[in-house]
Structure 1
Amino acid sequence: MAANEADTLLHVLDDDLIDDEDRQQDIESTLGDRKSPGETFDTSQLQAPNANDFSNARLIEELEGRRMRPTGFRDQDIIALQKVLDAEFEQEKEHLIRQHNEKKEQAMKEAGLQRRRAQLEKQLTEEKQEVAQNKIVAGWLSLVKQDETPLTARIEVNSISARALAKAMWTNTSLTSLDLARNNLDDFAGAYIAKLLKRNTALVKLELDSNNLGCRACNAFGEALLSNNTLQHLGLESNPLTNEGEKPAGFRYMVQALSKNAALTSLNLWRCGLGTPAGHDLAAGIQANRTITFLELGNNSLALSDLRQIGARVKDNRCHYDALQQQAMAKQREQDRILQEEKKAQDLLRKERELHDWLEAQRLLRAEERRAEEEERFRRHVWQFVS
């Protein structure tokens, strides 16, 4: 069962969703394959044919086979043919090397795929064992898969069960707010959680405060924010996102994605040990953003110039948001006014219709009464005449 699930996951999971130890082994194995001298194609024993060894008949045959006219002077013909033979040999050697490298690359890909499949099987086994030992997590997973969760949930998981939860959340539509703070989740689990945002279209709020998310999780959030259009709040407070500035690449990618994200309005980065370089990245990345109106950056040792630049952008966003809200409110008031006028017009029309119907009913009633009176007078007249 784990093997079948692993084969399925191979087609949907990204390459970076491999734990640190296995991923390092995979990288070292790949680099070892590429550097292995035994795998290098040896061309030292290959040589071009020597035209000087050909008989006169063979020499003429080789020349004519290449549409070259023999001169009748053996030395000249040998020199001319040897140039062609050398060029043909170089082409053939390049072809053999290219063919060897392609086969080697394909073998490396297949070996990497096998390693990746084995790693996924290992992860799945770990997740199933962990979930089997935790009935509370198992219950949450069942609710998530069946879309029967409450709108908001605080779930206590560890780094292994968090991966299972993240995969279950891919298609969930019932949970809109998820709190996974203070679970001591590692960077690898954080990447899994971040990647769920590429598929989940219901989650509006995600709290991941006080975990151990780092460069890998940031990189995954960067990819997710490029396509996600539903998440409005992301809490990453008290996570070593840049490892005290030693691994800034993931954070840089995440904040660059903010320029293309139009859904996120609130981002909590308080006490993440960002440092000055990360502050520069954030100041640059947020300049094209128009939706973030709340950004917590305390206790990060950022440069004052970056804080001012970031603060100005957030303030502009807030003013823009307020203006949009006022426009929306004005539009709503106008719609309410139009609806009220339409309601009044409908009420007036209804009353006019009711009056018309009442008058028509009264007319018919009077006509019926007159008809009855005429019949009564006629009946009396006939009675008197007969009498």
Structure 2
Amino acid sequence: MMMDPTQNFDDDDALDIDLDKLPTDEKEAIMSHVTPDDSAPTDAFSLGQNDLRREVSFFNDDALRLQEEFDREHVSERDSRMKQKIQVGMAAKSYLRETIKRKREQMDTELREEIDELADNPKLEVWLDLVKANTTPVEALLRINSVATRALSKVLQFNLGLRALNLSGNHLNDMAGKALANVLRRNNTLVKLEVEGNNFGPATVKEFAAALTTNAGLTYLSLESNPLTNDDNDYSGIAALGTMLTTNSTLTSLNLWRTRLGIEGGKALAKGMSENKTMLCLDIGNNKVALNDAMAISKSLADNLERYDAVQRKKGEMKKGQIEAAERARKQHEEERKQKEHEQWLEVRRVERQCERDRIEAERQRKLKEEEDRQRQISDRKAAERAAQLELEKKKKKKGGKKKK
């Protein structure tokens, strides 16, 4: 059951608690406020012969008296149950009020810390602006404390530019670890996260494991040199990490070198790796992991690597085939282009030759016409000359005839 910090618990009707849906720790905390029920049922073996006879006899007067007694017991037990229910409700309300108040105070404290850190750290403000504007570099190595990490994580959840983040050696605590896990719940752009040499414990590992169950972007995570089991006292985080390995198919490299895994942690990781098909590198060195678990993890990694190589070879063959097909298509396209250019060249030459023939024919026709015109002019001139000559001869004849007379 998730508790809303904004819910009003001052109204008695505002609370409807289903204890069975509460986390175990919260249910136990509530029940610790409730007075235990020490009542016990009647011991049948303590009844005498007459009592037993009276309990099971069929005489009407005995049955009536027994029924009256049962009725009184029923009323008494019912009242007791009602009081217990009211007591549980009041205890739950009291507990939740305290929890909400504590969480609100914690949130207020964290917010004030982040505001103060922002005021004291101008570089942090610059980074927040870069993250909000998606103008960060692709990779970043930052030297910031836990408070600054919390502030940065709130905006980093929605960033689409940063792909690799290194926060190693910053002495970050579990609150900062939880904030980074929230980043992984929303951000699928970040592919590499290095948080080596911090103070992350089981709480951070649990949050990371939960986030990586749904994260589809991160491929590399380094938790090297973090006390992930709280000095071998709490393996719950590593157990969650092992469970995460059974479902995550994106993470390919996980560095857990010198994180105090121990035998229990190695066993949890070996179990998770037995169902993992994509992890290629899992560093569990310097952790006192049992030899058989280390060998099992190595075998799982070898199987995954073989599977990965097979997929890559297949991809390579497919890519080679695609390249060859593309080259064949390119050559065919080039041949078609050359053929088209050749045909276009031939067409241009044909048109040019036709134009030349048309020009020659037009020139021949022009000259022929000129010759015809010249011949006609000559003919006309000769005809005019003959006509003039005849006219002259005619005049001469007339003149000669007049002289003879």
Q: Same fold (TM over 0.5)?
A: yes
Rounded Cα–Cα distance in structure 1 between residues aligned with 2:225 and 2:339: 68
Q: Are 1:280 and 2:267 an aligned pair?
A: yes
Of 138, 143, 149, the residue aligned with 1:162 is 149
Rounded Cα–Cα distance in structure 2 between residues aligned with 1:91 and 1:365: 115
| 2:225 corresponding residue in structure 1 | 238
Q: Are 1:298 and 2:285 an aligned pair?
A: yes
Within 5 A, what are the aligned runs for 1:336-347?
336-347=323-334
Describe the shift of the 1:86–1:272 C-alpha distance in structure 2 as closer, same or farther (beyond 3 A). Answer: closer
Q: CA deviation at 1:176?
A: 0.4
Q: CA deviation at 1:195?
A: 2.5
| 2:132 corresponding residue in structure 1 | 145
Rounded Cα–Cα distance in structure 2 between residues aligned with 1:280 and 1:93: 49
Q: CA deviation at 1:105?
A: 3.5
Q: CA deviation at 1:118?
A: 2.6
Kept in 1, the 8 Å contact 2:253–2:282? The answer is: yes
SS at match of 1:206: strand
Rounded Cα–Cα distance in structure 1 between residues aligned with 2:316 and 2:303: 20
Within 5 A, what are the aligned runs for 1:61-100?
94=81, 98=85
| 1:320 corresponding residue in structure 2 | 307
Describe the shift of the 1:292–1:75 C-alpha distance in structure 2 as closer, same or farther (beyond 3 A). Answer: closer
Within 5 A, what are the aligned runs for 1:2-21?
none
Q: Are 1:202 and 2:189 an aligned pair?
A: yes
Q: CA deviation at 1:221?
A: 1.0
Unaligned segments of structure 2, at least 5 residues: 7-23, 40-59, 375-405
SS at match of 1:299: coil
Question: Any idea what the Cα deviations from partners look like across 1:271-299, whole Å, max 9, x if unmatched?
Answer: 11111111111111111111111121211
**How many residues end up aligned between the 2 structures?**
332
Question: Any idea what the Cα deviations from partners look like across 1:233-277, whole Å, max 9, x if unmatched?
Answer: 111111111022201011110121011111111111111111111
| 1:311 corresponding residue in structure 2 | 298
Q: Are 1:121 and 2:108 an aligned pair?
A: yes
Larger Rg: 2
Q: Are 1:379 and 2:386 an aligned pair?
A: no
Letter in 2 for 1:359: L
SS at match of 1:334: helix
Kept in 1, the 8 Å contact 2:195–2:223? The answer is: yes
Rounded Cα–Cα distance in structure 2 between residues aligned with 1:138 and 1:385: 100
| 1:24 corresponding residue in structure 2 | none
Q: CA deviation at 1:168?
A: 1.6
Fraction of identical pairs, as percent: 34
Describe the shift of the 1:377–1:29 C-alpha distance in structure 2 as closer, same or farther (beyond 3 A). Answer: closer
Rounded Cα–Cα distance in structure 1 between residues aligned with 2:166 and 2:127: 13
| 1:370 corresponding residue in structure 2 | 357
Q: CA deviation at 1:342?
A: 0.5
Kept in 1, the 8 Å contact 2:31–2:88? The answer is: no
Unaligned segments of structure 1, at least 5 residues: 1-5, 8-26, 45-72
With normalisation by structure 1, the TM-score equals: 0.77
| 1:256 corresponding residue in structure 2 | 243
Question: Any idea what the Cα deviations from partners look like across 1:70-114, whole Å, max 9, x if unmatched?
Answer: xxx999999879977876786677567546645654564455334
More RCO (CA 8 Å, sep 6+): 1
Q: CA deviation at 1:354?
A: 0.8
Letter in 1 for 2:161: S
Kept in 1, the 8 Å contact 2:30–2:88? The answer is: no
Kept in 2, the 8 Å contact 1:256–1:286? The answer is: no
| 2:164 corresponding residue in structure 1 | 177
| 1:35 corresponding residue in structure 2 | 32
Letter in 1 for 2:334: D
Rounded Cα–Cα distance in structure 1 between residues aligned with 2:122 and 2:184: 26
| 1:17 corresponding residue in structure 2 | none
Kept in 2, the 8 Å contact 1:244–1:275? The answer is: no
Q: Provide runs of 4+ in structure 1 moved above 4 Å.
A: 27-34, 73-104
Rounded Cα–Cα distance in structure 2 between residues aligned with 1:75 and 1:306: 71
Rounded Cα–Cα distance in structure 2 between residues aligned with 1:76 and 1:330: 90
Q: CA deviation at 1:203?
A: 0.7
Superposition RMSD in Å: 3.0
